[in-house]
Amino acid sequence: MLKKMILKRLLQMIVVLIIISFLTFLLTYLAPGDPAEAMYEAAGISPTEEQLNTARLSMGLDKPFIVQYGRWVTHALRGDLGTSFSKSLPVATLIGQRLLPTLKIAVFSMAIMLVVSIPLGLLSATHQDGVWDYLIRFLSFFGISMPGFWLGLLLMYVFCVRLHWLPAVSASSGFREMILPSVTLAIAMSSKYTRQVRASVLEELSQDYVIGARARGVRRSRILWRHVFKNALLPLITLLGISFGSLLGGTSIVEIVFAYPGLGNLAVQSVSARDYPLIQGVVLWVAMIYMAVNLVVDLTYDLVDPRIREAR
Amino acid sequence: MKSIGSFLKSHKDVAVYGAFVLLIALVALLARVIAPYDPLSSTLRDAFQPPSAQHLFGTDFMGRDLLSRVIFGTRASLSSALLLVMASMIIGGLLGIIAGYAGGAADTVIMRLCGAMLSFPDLILAIAIAGILGPSFINTIIAILAVSWTKYARLSRSMVLKIKKRDYISAARITGSRSSHILSSYMIPNALPTLLTTAVLDIGTTILSVSGLSFLGFGIQPPTPEWGYMLAEGRNYMMTYPWLMVFPGLAIFVTVVAFNLLGDSIRDALDPGRRRKHRRKRTGKA
């Protein structure tokens, strides 16, 4: 049964990837401007008419749209995503360089988020309507409404410009360079997850089995840790997966604020330079990784929660 | 009108937050009257003045009055967010209703398209679209709309699927009602309240997306005042003139807070089940 489901999901993923690649290809095809010109422009050269004609021929721009698309797909299937206009390097290499920094920041910010939001969410739920609850809810509400780029700039001003504790520009992906971008990402996520954990724990606390256990005289702390905690966090797995997937796809705005060399930064650079092969490559890669993470999450969920397994 | 009045009377929080939002809307409408200076007129001699009595928020790198620019910036953010949310609700809502009601091939096509748009994290797809089309107000709208309609499509589709099974729909069909009649008199009115609540809840996030895109340089172009790219401009002078990045950011933050408060209060007011369940939790909301 499980095998059949994985197969079905993989098939769906392929369909979605075909739609996405077709749409991005169509978009760049319809975009104003000539790709041959864009190529020279991105490389900072002003071409002669002759150079343009040669480039158009070698890029296959004289062929009909569907032939061009077919050519791109067959190359992509072989792992060849073309060559970037602006950096004159293979697109696959450029994406490859960004993978480790992106993974590092994703793991680090998720770790901070979990350490902050699970205790705060629990505290908030178990002290419902107490001082802590109000304070935590107040903070998480503001955390959700805060623009990430503004928060990043403010943190940068305080810790880099004023206090000189951290480097302002994270051109490399060392530990010190990772701190501020990760914290910026973690603050927004923590606000969201603290609310989730709180809601989820409250929901679980109102279940009949909790009332029953309490009536039988089971200690509150035991109910909380042995039963409620585990059941309340289970539904969060799906959300965590989605968050992790989106972090792996790159977080353009925060990466741009700190000049962090991640995938999101590459995406913005490629779009600014109108580097069509790079845009197509990044878009395809990001969609692929995002869907793959979601598939893995659904599968783990399946393994952890026997109810879902039996339902199928 | 009377029913709105009594609704506001029984839900005071909605009234208070509504007034807050209305105030921001008034700032946008009356920008010309409120703003002390022309947001576009620059006197290079006055560049980088710190906040003072003449210029409450100081002046920017071209000597333009920052307060006036922040006030006029309300227009771009509010108009784009409202336009976007309405367009996503109408387009997504209708496509979702069609997908749910018609089923078959229409359903498959619309939902596959939804799936494709939803397989992107963050703003990546919007950035790509806005960048390829070229930065402008209308292209920002198109870029975000390309992703945002999907939420409403899935929502309205699921509601239609639920309503479709009800007896009164079968009754209407048996008695010979046309599809267009069933859609306009049963499906749309049923789906509308939920879609509207979602739309209000969405305005804050939309403002963040729009200003994020222009922060990256893919949105409204200078010299029209817009908060996102004002922040990007301010970032260049952060070391020496920090007020340039404080005030536009504060404007975004306050506006998003206002809409989020209003959205939350409307959702709680319209959803009595949720209200009962979370009543203790809700009192004294921040």
Domain borders along chain A are 2-73, 94-272
- Burial bucket for residue B267 (CB in 10 Å: 0-12, 13-18, 19+): middle
CB atoms within 10 A of CB A240: 17
| pLDDT of B91 above 90 | yes
A151 or B30, which is more confident = A151
Six token digits for residue A2: 């499980």
Look at residues A91, A94, A98 and name the one whose alpha carbon lies nearest to residue A262. A98
pLDDT tens for each residue of B69-84: 888 889 989 999 999 9
pLDDT band at A310 (very low <50, low <70, confident <90, very high): low
CB contact under 8 A, A153 and B212: no
Q: Distance from A216 to chain B by nearest Cα, in Å?
A: 25
Residue B145: count other Cβ atoms within 10 Å of its Cβ: 18
CB of B129 within 8 Å of a chain A CB? The answer is: yes
Closest Cβ opposite residue A149 in set B215, B218, B257: B215
Query: Considering chain B, what percentage of its residues have pLDDT values greater than 90?
Result: 20
Q: Which residues lie closer than 8 Å to B211 by C-beta, 6 or more apart?
A: A147, B77, B219, B226, B227, B228, B231, B252
Contacts A–B by Cβ distance under 8 A: 147
- pLDDT score at A235: 77
Contacts of A264 in chain B (CB under 8 A): 122, 124
Q: Which of A153, A202, A297 is best to mutate for the B interface (most B CBs within 10 A)? A: A153
Rounded to an integer, what distance in angstroms lies between the CA atom of residue B67 and that of residue B59? 8
Q: Which residues of B touch A148 (CB under 8 A)?
A: 208, 212
Q: What is the pLDDT of residues A279-290, one digit of tens each?
A: 888 888 888 888
What confidence tens digit (pLDDT) does each residue in B9-38 have?
788 888 899 999 999 999 888 878 887 877
Asked if B122 and A146 come within 8 Å (Cβ–Cβ), the reply is no
pLDDT of B286: 33
Q: Above 50 in pLDDT, residue B199? A: yes
* pLDDT confidence band for B254 (50 / 70 / 90): very high
Is residue B283 over pLDDT 80? no
pLDDT tier at B134, thresholds 50, 70, 90: confident
Q: What are phi and psi of B138, to 5 degrees?
A: -70, -35
- Contact call for B128 and A247, based on CB within 8 A: no
CB of B34 within 8 Å of a chain A CB? The answer is no
Closest residue in B to A280 (Cα–Cα): B128
Which of A64-78, A100-114, B53-67, B269-283 holds the top average pLDDT?
A100-114
In this predicted structure, what is the pLDDT of residue B88? 94
Residue B278 has a pLDDT of 45
Chain B residues close to A272, C-beta within 8 Å: 131, 217
- CA proximity to A117, closest of A205, A32, A197, A28: A197
Phi and psi at residue A261, in whole multiples of 5°? -80, 60
Note the pLDDT tens digit of each residue in A153-193. 898 888 887 787 877 665 666 777 888 889 999 998 899 89
Give whole-number Cα distances, B62 to A201, B41, B47, B49, B234, in Å: 53, 9, 5, 10, 12
Task: Answer whether B5 touches A (CB < 8 Å).
Answer: no
**pLDDT of A108 over the 90 cut:** yes
In this predicted structure, what is the pLDDT of residue A120?
Answer: 93
Q: Chain A residue closest to B111 (CA)?
A: A16
Judging contacts by C-beta atoms under 8 Å, the chain A residues touching residue B115 are: 12, 16
How many angstroms away from the CA of A142 is the closest CA of chain B?
7
Residues of B in contact with A19 (CB under 8 A): 112-113, 116
From B119, B238, B242, residue closest to A16, measured CB to CB? B119
Residue B123 and residue A252: Cβ atoms within 8 Å?
Answer: yes
Considering only alpha carbons, which residue of chain B is nearest residue A249? B121
User: Is pLDDT at B153 greater than 90 in this prediction?
Assistant: yes
More confident residue, A219 or B81: B81
The CATH classification number of A94-272 equals 1.10.3720.10
Which of B120, B265, B282 would you mutate first to test chain A, the one with the most A CBs within 10 A? B120
| B6-283 CATH fold | MetI-like fold (1.10.3720)
Percentage of chain A exceeding pLDDT 70 = 94
The minimal CB distance from A291 to the residues B119, B127, B252 is found for B119
pLDDT averaged over every residue in chain A: 83
In chain A, DSSP finds a helix count (H) and a strand count (E) of 16, 0
Task: Give dist(CA B96, CA B264) in Å, integer.
Answer: 24
Question: Does B58 score more than 80 pLDDT?
Answer: no
B223 upstream amide cis, omega within 30 of 0: yes
CB-based contact, B27 to chain A, within 8 Å: no
Q: Which residues of A touch B285 (CB under 8 A)?
A: 137
* pLDDT for position A194: 92
Would an 8 Å CB–CB cutoff place B216 in contact with chain A?
Answer: yes
Contact (CB<8Å) A134/B215: no
Of A167-181, A247-261, B148-162, the range with the highest mean pLDDT is B148-162
CB B67 within 8 A of CB B57: yes
Contact B252, A150 (CB under 8 A): yes
Min Cα distance A138 → chain B (Å) is 5
Separation of alpha carbons A107 and B225, rounded Å: 37
pLDDT band of B282, cuts 50, 70, 90:
very low
* Residue contact A147–B115, C-beta within 8 A: no
d(CA A46, CA A190): 49
Of B120, B122, B204, the CB nearest to A145: B204
CA-nearest of A227, A116, A120 to A182 is A116
- Which pLDDT tens digit goes with each residue over A46-76? 777 788 788 777 777 777 788 888 888 888 8
Contacts of A248 in chain B (CB under 8 A): 121
Chain A touched by B127 (CB under 8 Å): yes
Tell me the mean pLDDT in the region A115-120. Answer: 92
